[in-house]
Structure 1
Amino acid sequence: MLPHSQQGHGPITFVLMHFLGGSHRTWGPTLPFLDREYRCIALNTPGFGDASEVHGYTVEAMADQVDETIRQLKLERCILVGHSMTGKVAVVLAARRPDYLEGLILVAPSPPGPQPMSEEDRDQQRAYTASRAEAEAFVDDSSFHPLPEALREVAIGDAQALNLDAWRAWVDHGSREDWQDRIGPLPYPALLICGADDVQVPAADEQRRTTLAHFADSTLLTLPGAGHLMPLQTPQALAVPMLAFAHRIAVRIPEGDR
């Protein structure tokens, strides 16, 4: 079972996953806006946060461990929330049609196909050693707009505590994996949220053409004034559409009860 935090209660469970270099702490500022109405499970994915010693860095291996954790926790009626790297993991897991899944929220997701990135950028990411200066630059570049100092320190701490093997596995392999033709149409509602000032992943038009092509029932939103690290930077603005999406799902009658 992956290390995780748990809080809140309600008819729907948000299973929250983090960006490359993050942890369950990434969702700390957003959780108070969600957990009054719904249960929240924030995971640490293999190689990051409290799971820095956990192995299994391919997209499929990460999906396996997220699925196993959900099943061991005996969760039902889940919304998978993938942020950046784990947006790809969420869509791959959804393609398995797990019985607990009700919908997906994809926050600035890495697309199901290879993530567009220059070789120069890959070389720069591959050379990362998790020094303080490198972690500061990584967090500041990702957030685009300055984070509050306390939250910036949380993000920098996560970016230094990671397993470099996991980091490099994503740069060299996970981000290059092409699942586009293996996923097919998915029957779940999906909400995809972009940051207006995010330069780390494809913008809204490209996300609609690639990621959302798998979902007949999808909504795409762009948050103004937001960079890549929306759970830390714009937590309340991010939580509002997440809650509206969960409300819509919560009122549906589960298939097994029809």
Structure 2
Amino acid sequence: MLTVLALHYWAGSGREYEAVRALLPATVRLLAPDLPGFGKQPVPPGFDFSVAHYADWLAGFIADNKMAEFTLLGHSMGGKIALALAARRPAGLRQLVLLAPSPPTPEPITDAARSAALAAFGQAAEAEKTFRNITEKPLAEALHRLVVADNLCCTRPAWEAWLERGSREDISALMATLAVPCSVLVGANDRAITSETQQQQTLPWLPATTRLRVEPATGHLLPLEVPALVAALALQSFK
């Protein structure tokens, strides 16, 4: 069966892809696991929250779910992890779609912003502030509550590890092995990882044929803000 494997953003969960799932044909399944330490996913013994360990965990997930042919979607943090996984050339991978990805080079986060994010763990008021910062298009109240709830259910080790180590990892040396079609979608009004950052720190490391789309009046939460566009990109390789 054709599969879309969708990886969520930092402080999120696989639930962000429910609207995308509803737009896919019955012949395509979407699997959007909570990554270890986020959502409802427990942390495996010995897991160190590195990009490589997340890629290892996903390799096991792919095997367990018998993915013969699949598109890989990666959003924000999930984008960097998707890049690391795609660089391994897993069997059956047909396409890589990056949604406002954390770049393969260290993500440009100021020390002040990093410190503020570390201090925001588990605080409802800060989760609300984050929601307002990462969205541009109006969202239904149910989606607002989902984003805030996902923020508040992260484990502290996963929260801190991404800010202190994962976002700083440089996996650009792995990008030479990418061998599948790539697409990048970013919001023109993304304040978390700007379109300028994507053009300077992501695109130079991707295949020359990579397509970039900058969506007007859109923020960072692309699967919630423009689910139909995300679904269309996910289906490109299955036509």
The answer on whether the counterparts of 2:6 and 2:17 sit within 8 Å (CA) in structure 1 is yes
Q: CA deviation at 1:165?
A: 1.0
Task: Give the 5 Å matches for 1:1-258.
Answer: 10=1, 12-54=2-44, 55-203=47-195, 205-212=196-203, 213-243=205-235, 245=236, 249-251=237-239
Residue 73 of structure 2 contacts residue 98 of structure 2 at CA under 8 Å; is this kept in 1? yes
Asked if the contact 1:52–1:163 (Cα under 8 Å) also holds between the matched residues in 2, the reply is: no
Aligned partner of residue 192 in structure 1, secondary structure: strand
| CA shift in 2, pair 1:160/1:35, >3 Å | farther
What amino acid is aligned across from residue 240 of structure 1 in structure 2? A
CA 1:241–1:183 in 2, change beyond 3 Å: closer, same or farther?
closer
Distance 1:102 1:69 in 2: 17
SS at match of 1:49: coil
Is the deviation greater in 205-214 or in 233-242?
Answer: 205-214
**Structure-1 separation of matches of 2:14 and 2:54:** 15
Q: Could you tell me how far 1:219 is from its partner in structure 2? A: 0.9
SS in structure 2 at match of 1:50: coil
Using the size of structure 2 for normalisation, the TM-score is 0.92
Higher deviation after alignment, 75-84 or 228-237: 228-237
Q: 1:127 to 1:29 in 2, by over 3 A?
A: same
Letter of the 1:210 counterpart? Q
Give the whole-Å Cα distance in 1 for the aligned partners of 2:62 and 2:177.
23
Structure 1, gaps ≥5 residues long:
1-9, 252-258
- 1:125, 1:143 → 2: CA distance? 17
> Share of identical aligned residues, percent?
34
- Distance in 2 between residues matched to 1:202 and 1:226, nearest whole Å: 11
Please identify, of 190-199 and 124-133, the stretch whose mean Cα deviation from structure 2 is larger. Answer: 124-133
Bigger Cα displacement from structure 2, 53-62 vs 84-93: 53-62
How many residues are paired up? Answer: 236
8 Å CA contact retained: 2:4, 2:234: no
Give me the CA root mean square deviation: 1.7
C-alpha deviation, 1:37, in angstroms = 4.2
- 8 Å CA contact 2:121–2:159 kept in 1: the answer is no
**Cα deviation per residue 1:87-129 (whole Å; 9 max; x = unaligned)?**
0001111111111211100000000010011111011111122
Structure 2 counterpart of 1:13, which letter? T
Contact 1:192–1:220 under 8 Å retained in 2: yes
Stretches of 4+ aligned residues off by more than 3 angstroms: 52-56
Contact 1:83/1:109 (8 A) holds in 2 = yes
Judged with a 3 Å threshold, the aligned counterparts in structure 2 of structure 1 residues 183 and 240 are, in CA distance, closer, same or farther, namely closer
Deviation of the 1:137 alpha carbon:
1.1
